[in-house]
Amino acid sequence: MTLRVLPEAKAVQVPQGYSWDVPSNVLARWVDMPMAASDAPETVTIYDVIGEDAWTGGGFTAKRMNAALRSIGAKDVTVKINSPGGSTFEGFAIYNELRQHKAKVTIEVMGIAASAAAYIAMAGDEIRMGLGSFLMVHNSWGMVVGNRNDLVGAMDILQQVDNAQIDIFEARTGLSRATIEKYMDAETFFGAADAVKSGFADSVMDTNAMDGAVAHVAPQINAKKQLDALLAQSGVPRSERRRMLNEATGGMHDAAPTVTHDAGLDAAAVAQLLKTLRS
């Protein structure tokens, strides 16, 4: 059975007009990290953003976690994480799935566990950090479009989200709420040793988390992620990035902002756009 008593992440209403995003500095670090392949039994890998991402054709969801755990059954499970975060609300659902697992959950941070991925990691009975890996915490992040009432309501909901994060971190680390709030306000990155020292992890793995890493993501998808990160660093919101990138790579111009069509992707256009943005 699970070894720790952790708080449930209560369901929080998604604010009207809200779209999730990942801080640009986190996204930039993540896209440059290799992805370590693993086909070990009783292992779940989270090597993507949290929540569906139609632009890259990926994203890790609570539905995927539920299916993986159902397949594994009531056995010890290892969850390997290299994720910049993503949807706060999907993250809470994934955290709850792991929290309710009927056997030991071991978390291994294989690159970065940021934002929603950070509190997903807290669901582990044992949390191990690879050498060179990072854990990052911050206040809830996203964009809200609407009138003043929508914005005020969104602020209240996002405060609830931050309180839920603090509840989880407080239970896992034993740190005071005031200390955790300071870490979140400062958008704090913890290296492996600092994460252990602060209670966010239990141990540092003997080997570098990136040793033996295998690039198993299609070059087309890697290019999309690089484009996304570069635009994010320029301050372009996620929904607008999706629209711009969809048009720039030959997608349908009348599609919704978060919908893309890989069949229309022009690899040469992607390469040229990357070159232009980096120059």
Residues forming the active site: 115, 138
Phi and psi at 181, nearest 5°, equal -60, -40
Start-to-end CA span in the chain (Å): 54
Helix (H, G, I), strand (E, B) or coil at 170: helix
Counting beta carbons within 10 angstroms of the beta carbon of residue 152, is it exposed (0 to 12), middle (13 to 18) or buried (19 or more)?
A: exposed
Q: Are 33 and 130 in contact (CB under 8 A)?
A: no
Counting beta carbons within 10 angstroms of the beta carbon of residue 109, is it exposed (0 to 12), middle (13 to 18) or buried (19 or more)?
A: buried
Residues across the chain: 279
Tokens at 224, concatenated: 């999309």
Measure the CA–CA gap between 205 and 115, rounded to whole angstroms: 22
Tokens at 101, concatenated: 């697992």
Q: CB count, 10 Å around CB of 4?
A: 14
Tokens at 22, concatenated: 């990942």
Measure the CA–CA gap between 117 and 51, rounded to whole angstroms: 11
Tokens at 120, concatenated: 């997903």
